[in-house]
Amino acid sequence: MSGRAQLMWDEAVTGYDFGPEHPMDPVRLALTRSLVGALGLDREVEVVAARSAGESTLRLVHRQDYIDAVKAASLEPDAADPSYGLGTVDDPAFAGMHEVSSLIAGQSVGAAEAVWRGQALHAVNFAGGLHHAMPGAASGFCVYNDAALAVARLLELGAERVAYVDVDVHHGDGVQAAFWEDPRVLTVSLHEHPRTLFPQTGWPEETGAECAEGSAVNIALPAGTGDAGWVRAFHAVVPEVLADFRPQVLVTQHGADTHFEDPLAHLAVSLDAQRAVQVACHELAHEYAEGRWVALGGGGYAVVDVVPRSWAHLVGIAAGRPVDPETVIPEGWRQEVYARTRQLGPMRMTDGRWPVEWASWEEGYDPADRLDQAVVAARRAVFPLRGLLA
């Protein structure tokens, strides 16, 4: 197996553009790629442009009638069928939508193939992580569910146990739905509580179908959760269920919208805590999946201050050259930020909160604490189904 990481990148993914008023601004992808280059990380990885996902691949998750609807909307955006979630406020139709969505999906599928076949130990597609798309509908800024497609491709290639861990602020509902009845896939989502955030799913009681009980794990955190609680909740649940499941591959989704500056959600997590969980996912891949790690992007709408730094850290960790949080960001990149957005870019690769301090679950918990209550709810819902002590 090659120890070299792959970075999946094709400039054309920046064509995933819902329009100038939409929060998912593709400049976040362009700025991430250029920051990766400015930090010299692209010299530490193999940069690969995978081919687009074809219809047979898309059908691993999506219905043919939905694919046909996306293709039709791609040709005539004004005639998009809203019954498929297309042409809506969240998912406006645009020319070429099918092609660029297939391209993004192809990068995640290509990452999965490279890791499974031993061509790379780790592979990153920060343009991916579009985890809300359903088998028959677009949802939450997501047209094709590249994360679910990557997992489905791993199963098709012969994987018997794939773990998917999602730390986006929103519940990974599309991936959970795709594998709800499949005990070969463990889906774990750490997200803001559905009472206060789209898509209003991801309750602890959602644990998988009867034929796959315990295969879905949901840690629903109270609004306002900050670094210590977020990292504590991750470590209180994720390592234990991975140790029990023994995945052959770990697929992770790293939406940057948990950040305190993100305009669409209500957690208070710093860039430094995001980096700490990225490091933890890397370590868990080595501990439980022989190092096989597919890492995806996701949400993130603070497109200058947060997203590029968070995902550049992810690339550095996957490349085996993690970026020191105190690193000063190259001036050339900051000039590019201003030229593209008329905003001032961040100065360093930290929010000033490194190292992140948190209390281990093994030290005990406070039954009156809302964060601890969320962790207890997740553990009590799923751990007994897996034969674990809650």
How many percent of the chain have pLDDT more than 70?
A: 99
* Residue from 132, 191, 254, 259 carrying the catalytic annotation: 132
Quick one: average pLDDT of 203-220? 98
Per-residue pLDDT tens for 331-371?
999 999 999 999 999 999 999 999 999 999 999 999 999 99
Is 295 in a helix, a strand, or coil? strand
- What mean pLDDT is reported for the chain? 97
Question: What is the percent of the chain with per-residue pLDDT over 90, rounded to a whole number?
Answer: 99
**pTM exceeds 0.75 for this model:** yes
What's the one-letter identity of residue 128?
Answer: G
- Average pLDDT, integer, range 135-141: 98
What confidence score (pLDDT) does residue 2 get?
A: 55
Residue 132 bears catalytic tag: yes
With beta carbons less than 8 A apart as the criterion, state whether 312 and 33 touch. Answer: no
Instruction: Estimate the share of the chain in helix, then strand, then coil, as percent rounded to the nearest 5.
Output: 40, 15, 45
CB–CB of 46/121 below 8 Å?
no
Averaged pLDDT for residues 241-256: 98
How far is 203 from 336, CA to CA, in rounded Å?
42
Report whether 2 contacts 101 (CB < 8 A).
no
pLDDT of residue 4: 85
